[in-house]
Amino acid sequence: MGLTSYDLVIRNGKVVTGVTQTWFETDIAVKDGRIVRIGYLKNVSSDVVIDVKGRYVVPGFIDMHNHSDLSIIAYPEALNSLMQGVTTLVIGNCGFSAAPVLPKSLNDIKRFWSQLSLGISVDITWSSFDEYLRTLETVKPAVNIVPLVGHGTLRINVAGFDDYLSNEDLEMMKELTVDAMRAGAFGISTGLIYPPGSYASTNELVELAKVVSSYGGIYSTHIRSESHRLLEAVEEALEIGLKAGIPVEISHLKAAGRPNWGKVKEVIDLVRKYREYGVEVNYDMYPYTAGSTSLIALLPQSLYRDGFDILISKLSDKGFRNEVIKLVESSSDWENLLKILRWEDIVISYSGSCKPCEGRSILELSRELGKDPYDIIFDLICSDQGRTLMVMHFMNEEDLIYGLKQPYSLIGSDSLVIPLGMGKPHPRFFGTFPRVIKRYVKDLGILSLEEAVAKMSSIPAQKLRLNDRGIIAPRFKADLVVLNIKNIEDRATFEDPNKYPVGIDYVIVNGVISVSEGEYVGVRNGEVVKNLTT
């Protein structure tokens, strides 16, 4: 008998499988992209052997909440994700997917996306969801891609930015949803603070969720409110789960704004209650007490009805500005973030037109320029054509810790693939996954390493029904990370976010080493993963 030959053998790792509560020291053999043997491997031949004695080997991280639908085409190396040990991105979140794009909706969908894209522009050359996934395959990303279809995108295709949706429109949205699910989507996402998604009735969402459920997909949702009406918003999501018989994933769970701190505990009580009713509900979190979104999300949702371009052009008018301010200060029947944010809580993280504004709060800018804070915001939205991004410091860490400790939580970065130096983005773009280990495992002892790893690999895989990823076991895809617990650190901070972490020593994607001793080796071996339950 000859030697068994493998493509890769990892020796002497402290292996955390994703499904057991204790690490064990063993060797792992990989062939044709999959883990084929685990155990003490004596007489083997292998193209590549790495000895990782003293270091942990864990499943590659699955980023449950990512927005790289377009940017992965411009930056297929995905370095800000890959260097964190992320091997799979779940895209299409918060109602934003890059497909479908019916020809008449191309311009609106481009505008819709511009609020999340920083300065990255990508030509939309596809129409159907299937064509989009094939485009992703041709760019050969460095990480695996798991797509969701976005409700906001679907809605623009049938009704633009109109709040009214006819029965025929809804039927057409269902057809587009079927197309996306047949092409391989893992579910539908909603972004219920972003027009036109925010115009949807609960019933519209139930109807679409039923379609998705019949194809084995999930309902992932940026809920209607993360502040004053947090509990009602969670309840709406859970009722959709109950009525449509669909697994629910609540995106970036938080209690935003000082008066709402402490409410995460009540959310968890609701989660438990609905789990007893039979709703499979989970939620993702990122390990920071600040959020981030487009600056334009501060404007009342009712103002978008004529589309983005008209709203932005009206915003240069003083009279219109005063109307906006009146609406912001008097109404709260929408996710009015300015009701919970102080000017010092809002920090500009990306501006194409004002680089010196990046990293500065609205309060600082207002004092420095002797301008009203509202005018700072309106001027930036106008000069950036709605592309300005902000960081919002509005959560407390006790809520975060309470949520993280529960068995239902998993980790999502809510970031997108970007190159170094694109503004001063939220540090979650560069540090989410190492930070969970550095701060919540090592420094604070909130989670064991095994628990943290499960929340970043096997639990999201289970949620998505990825049946051959997220766990270290024979026959599973060899998405693996070798990490050094001694020096692991997310180096990205709010002041200086453009930094890769340290301590993520190897990243292996589908059996191929992509990061070696902390350096990207120039290999892109991700796959576009399709949900083909039909």
Residues listed for the chain: 534
Nearest residue to 20 (alpha-carbon basis) of 436, 462, 449, 402: 449
Asked if residue 222 binds Zn ion (CB under 5 A), the reply is: yes
Q: How far is the CB of 464 from Zn ion (least distance, A)?
A: 18
Piece in contact with Zn ion (CB under 5 A), picked from 24-32, 48-56, 86-94, 96-104: 86-94
Of 7 and 399, the one with the shorter C-beta distance to Zn ion is 399
Q: How many residues bind Zn ion (CB under 5 A)?
A: 2
User: For residues 206 and 253, which CB has a smaller minimum distance to Zn ion in the complex?
Assistant: 253
Six token digits for residue 254? 């938080």
Q: Which of 37, 101, 29, 46 is nearest to 69 (CA)?
A: 101
Q: Which of 94, 176, 192, 324 binds Zn ion (CB under 5 A)?
A: 94
- Please report how close the Cβ of residue 252 comes to Zn ion at its closest, in angstroms: 6
SS (H, E, C) 179-217: HHHHHCCCEEEEECCCCCHHHCCHHHHHHHHHHHHHCCC
Using only C-alpha atoms, the chain has a radius of gyration, in whole angstroms, of 23
Least separation in angstroms between residue 474's CB and Zn ion is 37
Binding segment (CB under 5 A) for Zn ion, from list 89-97, 274-282, 298-306, 500-508: 89-97
Pick the piece of the chain touching Zn ion (CB under 5 A) from 109-117, 119-127, 214-222, 230-238. 214-222
Beta bridge partners of 389: 294, 350
Q: How far is 22 from 14, CA to CA, in rounded Å?
A: 9
Cβ closer to Zn ion: 41 or 417? 417
Residue among 66 and 525 whose Cβ is closer to Zn ion: 66
Least separation in angstroms between residue 222's CB and Zn ion is 3
Nearer to Zn ion, 94 or 492 (CB): 94
Tokens of 95: 């109602």
Residue 14 or 222 with smaller CB distance to Zn ion: 222
Pick the closer one to Zn ion by CB: 23 or 186.
186
What residues from 313 to 342 belong to the interface with Zn ion (CB under 5 A)?
Answer: none
Taking residues 164 to 203 in sequence order and writing x for each that binds Zn ion by CB under 5 A, - otherwise, the string is ----------------------------------------
Q: Report which secondary-structure segment, H or E, holds 37.
A: strand 34-39
- DSSP secondary structure of 240-264: HHHHHT--EEE-S----SGGGTTHH
Number of Cβ within 10 Å of residue 59's Cβ equals 31
Select 71 or 525, whichever has its Cβ closest to Zn ion.
71
The answer to whether 382 and 238 have CB atoms below 8 angstroms apart is no
Q: What is the smallest separation between the CB atom of 337 and Zn ion, expressed in angstroms?
A: 12
In Å, the largest CA–CA distance within the chain is 85
Kindly indicate which of the ranges 68-76, 147-155, 215-223, 276-284 contains the residues binding Zn ion, using the contact rule CB under 5 A. 215-223
Q: Kindly state the smallest distance separating residue 196's Cβ from Zn ion, in Å.
A: 15
> Residue 103 Cβ, how far from Zn ion at the closest point, in Å?
28
User: At a CB cut-off of 8 Å and minimum separation 6, what does 286 contact?
Assistant: 65, 252, 411, 412, 413, 414, 428, 432
**Nearer Cβ to Zn ion, position 225 or 458?**
225
CB–CB of 492/430 below 8 Å? Answer: yes
Given the rule CB under 5 A, which of 91-99, 323-331, 383-391, 395-403 is the region that contacts Zn ion?
91-99
Q: How many whole angstroms separate alpha carbon 429 and alpha carbon 418? A: 8
Cβ burial of 231 (10 Å; 0-12, 13-18, 19+) is middle
Residues engaged in binding Zn ion (CB under 5 A): 94, 222
